[in-house]
Amino acid sequence: MDHNIANIRYDYRLKGLHEADLDPDPLKQFRLWFDEVLEADIFEANAMLLSTVSEGRPTGRIVLLKDLDERGFSFFTNYDSKKGQEIGQNPQVALTFFWKELERQVRIEGKIEKTSEEESSEYFAVRPRGSQIGAWASAQSEVIPNREFLEAKTSELEARFEGQPVPRPPHWGGYRVMPDYVEFWQGRPSRLHDRLAYTKVGGEWRIERLSP
């Protein structure tokens, strides 16, 4: 087996992407692609890279898309986490989806804001009970002494909420990314990929083809 990283390559040949194929609204176009992803039964289809910036230093992590509407892309997390603190300092973020099975990538840039209390509570109520307890047990991104500390905290909370619904923690809720730039990438042979970008200009979307 060849373990030379430089020799890893793949020639994309599944499909092309043409301007005539695109919906004028990038959120509707994303929905069309995402429906194809779901039909393809791709594992963790809603996994996306969230990139934030704090004091000029970028960081990234995978989060899960939980809602999509005409306003933007929503996910839920601990507001006191590292990403929550960075979002508080700089609300400009980026999302990246990569579905290798369909040879597609989508890049999204825009401003982020918290979802409403009602939206956060509504989603929290349908989470598995273990995940609800976990939202209370984990002081996300903070240093802990060991695994046993986390397990003891979880057991304590399970006893505390036994026989009753788990309320949403005040430090936990949703964010919505409202895009002003969305780029659709379709892999093509010889690295001559299709890249079509939507940029919001004066409230309208402009579509341009980018060189690969």
From the list 13, 129, 160, 191, the catalytic residue is 191
Q: Catalytic: 191?
A: yes
- Binding-site members for substrate are 9-12, 66, 123, 127, 131, 191-193
Domain extents for the chain? 5-127+170-210
pLDDT tens by residue, the chain, 212 residues: 668 888 887 677 889 999 999 999 999 999 999 999 999 999 999 999 999 998 889 999 999 999 999 999 999 999 999 999 999 999 999 999 999 999 999 999 999 999 999 999 999 999 999 999 999 999 999 999 999 999 999 999 999 999 999 999 999 999 999 999 999 999 999 999 999 999 999 999 999 999 99
- Binding-site members are 9-12, 61-66, 76-77, 82-83, 105, 123, 127, 131, 140-141, 185, 191-193, 195
Give me the CATH code for the 5-127+170-210 domain, please: 2.30.110.10
- Binding-site members for FMN are 61-66, 76-77, 82-83, 105, 140-141, 185, 195
Distance, in Å, from the CA atom of 188 to the CA atom of 13, rounded to the nearest integer, reads 5
Which helix (DSSP H) or strand (DSSP E) does residue 110 occupy? strand 104-114
Specify which residues 113 forms β-bridges with.
176
- With 0-12 / 13-18 / 19 or more C-beta atoms within 10 angstroms meaning exposed / middle / buried, residue 115 is buried
